[in-house]
Copies of this chain bind each other. A is one copy, B any other.
Amino acid sequence: MNILFVMYDQLRFDYLSCSGHPHLKTPNFDRVAARGVRFTNAYVQSPVCGPSRMSFYTGRYVSSHGAQWNGYPLRVGELTLGDHLRALGMGCWLIGKTHMKADAEGMGRLGLASDSLIGARQAECGFDAFVRDDGLWGYGPDGWYDEKRSPYNEYLASQGYDGENPWADYANAGVSDEAQMASGWMFENAERAANVREEDSETPWLTREAMRFVDQAMAPWCAHVSYIKPHWPYIVPAPYHAMYGPDDILPPVRDASELEAPHPVLAAYHDTRVSQAFRQDEVRRKVIPAYMGLIRQCDDQLGRLLDHLEASGEANDTMIVLTSDHGDYLGDHWLGEKDFFHEASVKIPLIILDPRRDADATRGTTCGALVEAIDLCATFIEAAGGAVPDHIVEGRSLMPWLHGQPPKTWREVVVSEYDYSVTPRAEALGVSPRDARLFMVFDGRWKLIHAEGGFRPMLFDLANDPGEFKDLGDDTEASGEIARLYDHLARWSRRMSQRVTISDDQIRNRRGKSARRGILPFLVDGSEVPADLTERYRGPARQDHRDSD
């Protein structure tokens, strides 16, 4: 079986028609959901691209793999999907974005050249890169944000787009009424059509790369088709720029009470430029239709990819996974971007279609189990025929849910983390880089958010307050729930996460073996153990080497 592991970037869980959006139409997501399982309580390990993805790719919590924010290198040697799947005979390919930064210092220390096969895989997060393009081609006074080459920019250049960064100048910019460049970086331009032929825009380009991959791939393969969209810059080419308008956007999920005496950490989030921008109705009225247009384009391209897979004959032998690395506040809770733990940010869409007969019983159903992003790595290992090395991979396979055989025990809480040490919020709050860390523990009803650095916790009761408006973190009546969730956090924090070089089975097999290798330390006279262990110490001393007096 192959695995088509499609990731969108910054796609909210509720911006699909199958998950209930009343205006946005996503027939191709719905088509997969109708034949697979849609997980309705799936959460990322960190609501920001880099660390979230490193958790998807390693199957490990963020504080286990350590790449805790965008551009924090993933430690050399950390095992990834590619290591696990290739060992099982399945290729593991990248088409698109990983947001992985290689541990150049670590690689140098170990003498790994990035142009060697091993070095390249280390540098590409374990994938073999069919095409890697991280999709954020910023260029400013201090140079490029991302110094890698951009296959997408090269493509645009080949199609006649001029300048050194057509990604910014055309694919992510429109044209003003005065024929001026109208950069997608400015929200005021979000309503314009991107100055790019639709077929040249990022999502169709990457879809063609994915189809090209399918045409030449040797099964079994796992293909990580990883789109940058609907991530900002919020601008989309015609006709998608005009498909949705202010009437199609939903009112923000927010309440005036959220701004009254907020938790200090949340207050720092309220103060960011993006949050301030999304408070303006004008911004939401322009940005959200563009965001919806980008999703609609993703859906159309998904349709092309699905059709191509069917035409190739591989569809019946390919598991299809659709997900995202985090959501987007879009003004909910007086916030923009992601980076915090309300549902809009930390919850993700997750749809899995297993083509095998074993999954027939669950087709078209939803599953409300508490699922974490790290579960995909375990699921894929099982799909590739392997046993999950659970001393390394901290997620659990979702296969039982897909096959209608729910496991007897399942996790009681999901945990997500956020390291804001590199952001101005850390400075504003006066916390050190190592204290600028947040932890969410959510049991399906109660959501606890712990902040290092001496802050009180936050708490939301999603049963009585599904909008997550009322922070009960200083409510004495909630102290029992707070203590209970802190217990979960403590247990999780003590988890066995770094004993990655020896499995539980290897440990069991080693028990009691040292005596049979001549280590006999605890004998009074030797009668305590079988004679064959001590026989070599019986008999005359062969030589006498004792010092004489």
- Select from chain B the residue with minimum beta-carbon distance to A508: B433
Interface pair B180/A538, CB less than 8 Å apart: yes
Given contacts A433-B507, A522-B272, contact A499 B419 (CB under 8 A): yes
A73 touching B501 by the CB < 8 A rule? yes
Is the C-beta of A321 less than 8 angstroms from some C-beta in chain B? no
Q: A238-B546, A511-B427 are in contact. Are A502 and B72 (CB under 8 A)?
A: yes
- From 471 to 528 in chain A, residues with beta carbon under 8 angstroms from any chain B beta carbon are 486, 489-490, 493-494, 496-502, 504, 507-508, 510-526, 528
Instruction: Mark out the residues of chain A between 230 and 249 whose CB falls within 8 Å of any chain B CB in the assembled complex.
Output: 232-233, 237-239
How many residues on the A side are at the interface (Cβ–Cβ under 8 A)? 137
- Which residues of B are found within 8 Å of A408, using beta-carbon distances? none
User: Which of A182, A437, A521 has most B Cβ within 10 Å?
Assistant: A521
Q: Is A191 part of the binding interface, using a Cβ–Cβ cutoff of 8 Å?
A: no
Q: Which partner residue on chain B sits nearest A421 by CB separation?
A: B507
What's the nearest-Cβ distance from chain B to residue A491, in Å? 8
Q: Would you call A188 an interface residue if the criterion is a C-beta within 8 Å of the partner chain's C-beta atoms?
A: yes
Contact of A138 among B68, B186, B502, B517 (CB under 8 A): B517
Give chain B nearest CB distance to A140 CB in angstroms. Answer: 4
Annotate A414-436 by CB proximity to B: 1 below 8 A, 0 otherwise: 00000101111011000011100
Task: Note all chain B residues with C-beta closer than 8 A to A496.
Answer: 63, 434, 437
Query: Are B110 and A77 closer than 8 Å at their CB atoms?
Result: yes
Interface string of A56-71 (1 = CB under 8 A from B): 0000000111111001
Among residues of B, the one whose C-beta sits closest to the C-beta of A182 is B541
* One of B76, B137, B165, B238 near A77 (C-beta < 8 A): B76
CB distance from A168 to the nearest CB of B (A): 7
Instruction: Please indicate which of the listed interface residues A64, A182, A426, A545 has the most CB atoms of chain B within 10 Å of its own CB.
Output: A545
Is there an interface contact between B173 and A521, defined as CB atoms closer than 8 Å? no
Q: CA–CA, A273 to B298, complex, Å?
A: 66
CB pair B75 A498 closer than 8 Å? yes
Q: Across the interface, which residues of B come within 8 angstroms of A103, CB to CB?
A: 501
A71 to B74, CA, bound (A): 26
Known: A116-B111, A541-B173. Is A521-B232 also a contact (CB below 8 A)? yes
Tell whether A155 is near chain B: CB-to-CB under 8 Å.
no
A74 contacts which chain B residues (CB < 8 A)?
A: 501
The reply to whether A196 and B110 form a contact with Cβ atoms under 8 Å apart is no
Query: Is A337 interfacial (CB 8 A cutoff)?
Result: yes
Contact check, B181 vs A537: say whether CB atoms are below 8 A apart.
Answer: yes
A284 to B274, CA, bound (A): 72
Residues from chain B with a CB closer than 8 A to the CB of A524 are: 186-188, 277, 280, 283
Encode A212-252 as 1/0 by CB contact (under 8 A) with B.
00000000000000000000110001110000000000000
Most chain B beta-carbon neighbours within 10 Å: one of A122, A182, A547 = A547
Measured CA separation A433–B509 after assembly (Å) = 11
Mark each residue of chain A from 8 to 21: 1 if its CB lies under 8 Å from any CB of chain B, else 0.
00000000000000
> Chain B residue with minimal CB distance to A437?
B496
B500 A66 Cβ-Cβ under 8 A: yes
**Cross-interface CB contact of A522 among B194, B274, B539, cutoff 8 Å:** B274
Once the chains bind, are A518 and B232 in contact (CB under 8 Å)?
no
A455: interface (CB < 8 Å): no
> Chain B: which residue is nearest A185 at the CB level?
B520
Taking CB atoms, residues of chain B closer than 8 Å to A122 are 110
- Closest A-B pairs by Cβ, 7 of them: A138-B518, A66-B498, A493-B493, A140-B518, A183-B537, A145-B517, A274-B522
Question: Would you give 13 A-B contacts (Cβ < 8 Å), ordered by A?
Answer: A72-B501, A142-B517, A144-B517, A161-B545, A175-B541, A181-B537, A185-B523, A197-B546, A238-B549, A280-B524, A432-B504, A433-B504, A437-B494
> Assuming A63-B496, A75-B501, A161-B543, what are 16 further A-B pairs, CB within 8 angstroms?
A63-B498, A72-B499, A74-B501, A103-B501, A140-B518, A140-B536, A142-B513, A160-B543, A162-B542, A173-B537, A185-B534, A186-B525, A188-B524, A195-B543, A421-B504, A421-B507
